[in-house]
Amino acid sequence: MKIEIFDSTLRDGAQGEGISFSVTDKLAIAHALDGFGVDYIEAGNPFSNPKDIAFFERMKEQPLRHARLCAFGSTRRKRMKVQEDDNVLSLLRAETPVVSIFGKSWDLHVDRVLQATLQENLDLVGDTVAYLKAQGREVIFDAEHWFDGYLHNPDYAMQVLRVARQAGADTLCLCDTNGGSLPGFVQDGVRKVCEAFPDATVGIHCHDDIGCAVASSLLAVQAGARQVQGTFTGIGERCGNANLSEIIPTLRLKMGYTGASGDLKQLTFIAREVMDIANLSVASGSPYVGSSAFAHKGGMHVDGVQKLSASFEHIEPEAVGNSRRFLMSEVSGRTTVLAKLESIAPYLDKDSPEVAAIVKRLKELEMEGFQFEAADASFELMILKTLARFIPHFQLGMYRTSGEFPPPDGETSASAMLSIQVDGERETTAAMGNGPVNALDSALRKALSVFYPALNKVRLTDYKVRVLTGDEATASKVRVLIESSDGKHSWTTVGVSTDIIAASWQALSDSIEYILHKKEGRLTWA
């Protein structure tokens, strides 16, 4: 059975804290979601801001191939004819085939927020839906706060849906707008609506304020909902929306439904692409698409997965485009190291002296404060060095950093100068940055791009510092973790020193060496 996937990343997702999509961002995300196969893309409110108006204008020149584009807005305002309401007219000017109209279904909101009578609210809903249907639009009615309304005044909550359906609404979407309803209550409410409106498509729209948005959405489907709304990575207002990157694979792989007609093996890529455009990272622990979703550290787990993946994995990671990872630490045994060596030195076995040397070196470095479970890239380079297969792409001559406070230009507070040598050629360069590490990173990549142009696509995406020996105060040893990306892949490297700049340099140089070794085929992407 087909479940319609309604993505609201560009509308509800954009309301998440710290998220601001440009028109170009929204275009890129819309086409990525379209390529994946979602059925509806709710892209914004053309009445609310010029950015959304510009987006809908651009989309007229770049039509979607699969998904139906949807404009979002409210019912007409009180004491105004629907054909004269600018909000409603803006939805028509957007020229989308689908409109999503939200209306009040909780009598508390009608009385206290809208400050209207219950009948007036019913008129707003009916007039707006009927008018948009008369203009040839597919209409999805979002019953705002429906579950709270159903809890406090079930007769009125159902009456709102009845008016919307009689006016021609194609889909009745039940919204847990406050995100506080328990899954069992959501399931019961959806079942009652499906029984009352057997000929209508019933949708579900959940927020995650008690961490139940995905569970509620799945139970709603079991109760008869045939459209699931959410955002692709769960971003959204307050605690976020139902996470479609969790719902879609669960519907398809666990529950036997179809939904989002694209290749499920692209799921992880799409989730990370959306978050990259949002200038965020997918949380490592995210089900299905997180970097830790199929990561194994305990020796028993690693041994079990090596023998039978189903022993500690609920699906094959490749089914959703993710990959299995074996985490290195001081508790790692030869089995874990061998699993990591499969793509680097598959000819080694557990009795090889090289494996013993790698395990020994791993434990020595972890004793010094290195942490390889979060820095696979540095661990792979350590393997190459231990196997005498590491070929340095550059040698450091010197670097110097300096800072100034307050920043003279209000932004760049530090500068870095460095000298490197590549195949006997010396390159000296300098750069400004927001702090010495940013300046050093910019200077290094600037110098190396002369020899390795591919590095122009590499950028630092995350930087973490942890104090390891607090008893030494400001002279304490620190661990620096740096995450880098070339736009397609991400990798993490580590450095340790009592000098935070020196530790950062270790991680930065490892980051560059890692991607260069990858591009030359000495290391392969998982």
The domain boundary, picked from 262, 286, 301, lies at 262
SS3 478: strand
Rg (CA), the chain: 27
The residue assigned the tokens 């997918």 is 282
Contact 257, 229 (CB under 8 A): no
What is the tens place of the pLDDT at every residue in 350-372?
A: 888 998 898 889 888 988 888 88
The residue assigned the tokens 């699931």 is 228
SS3 18: coil
Mean pLDDT of 74-103: 97
Q: Tell me the CATH number at 51.
A: 3.20.20.70
Strand order in the sheet with 490-497: 459-467, 478-485, 490-497
Looking at the structure of the chain, the number of domains it has is: 2
The residue assigned the tokens 């994995």 is 313
Alpha-carbon gap, residue 448 to 460, rounded angstroms: 15
Which two three-digit tokens encode residue 202? 């019933």
The reply to whether 96 falls in a domain is yes
The reply to whether 186 falls in a domain is yes
Mean pLDDT of 181-205: 98
Alpha-carbon gap, residue 289 to 123, rounded angstroms: 44
Least Cα distance to 59 among 89, 25, 30 occurs for 30
Alpha-carbon gap, residue 480 to 503, rounded angstroms: 6
- Look at residue 404 in the predicted model and tell me its pLDDT: 78
Least Cα distance to 150 among 115, 119, 129, 180 occurs for 180
For a pLDDT cut of 70, what percent of the chain falls above it? 96
Encode 333-401 in three state secondary structure: CHHHHHHHHCCCCCCCCCCCHHHHHHHHHHHHHHHHCCCCCCCHHHHHHHHHHHCCCCCCCCEEEEEEE
pLDDT at 382 over 90: yes
Domain interval for residue 468: 395-519
Q: Tell me the CATH number at 500.
A: 3.30.160.270
Residue 73 phi, psi dihedral angles, 5° rounding:
-165, 180
- Look at residue 475 in the predicted model and tell me its pLDDT: 62
Contact 192, 223 (CB under 8 A): no
Give the DSSP H or E segment for 490: strand 490-497
| Angle of CA points 274, 275, 281, to nearest 5° | 155
Residue 461 phi, psi dihedral angles, 5° rounding:
-110, -20
Alpha-carbon gap, residue 164 to 3, rounded angstroms: 22
For 184-237, the DSSP string reads HHHHHHHHHHHHH-TTSEEEEEEB-TTS-HHHHHHHHHHTT--EEEEBTTS--S
pLDDT at 82 over 70: yes
What is the tens place of the pLDDT at every residue in 421-455?
A: 999 999 999 999 888 999 999 999 999 999 999 89
Mean pLDDT of 291-302: 83
The reply to whether 478 falls in a domain is yes
The domain boundary, picked from 262, 285, 319, lies at 262
Residue 470 phi, psi dihedral angles, 5° rounding:
-65, -20
The reply to whether 318 falls in a domain is no
Question: Where residue 386 falls among pLDDT bands split at 50, 70, 90?
Answer: very high
The reply to whether 504 falls in a domain is yes
For a pLDDT cut of 90, what percent of the chain falls above it? 75
What is the tens place of the pLDDT at every residue in 304-337?
A: 887 888 999 999 999 999 998 887 665 556 777 7
Give the DSSP H or E segment for 104: strand 98-104
Mean pLDDT of 145-174: 98
The domain boundary, picked from 229, 262, 295, lies at 262
The reply to whether 416 falls in a domain is yes
Mean pLDDT of 141-150: 98
The reply to whether 295 falls in a domain is no
The reply to whether 362 falls in a domain is no
pLDDT at 468 over 90: no
Give the DSSP H or E segment for 514: helix 500-519
Which of the listed ranges 225-229, 388-392, 475-479 does the model predict with the highest average pLDDT?
225-229
User: Do 74 and 219 fall into the same domain?
Assistant: yes
Contact 454, 517 (CB under 8 A): no
Alpha-carbon gap, residue 403 to 391, rounded angstroms: 33
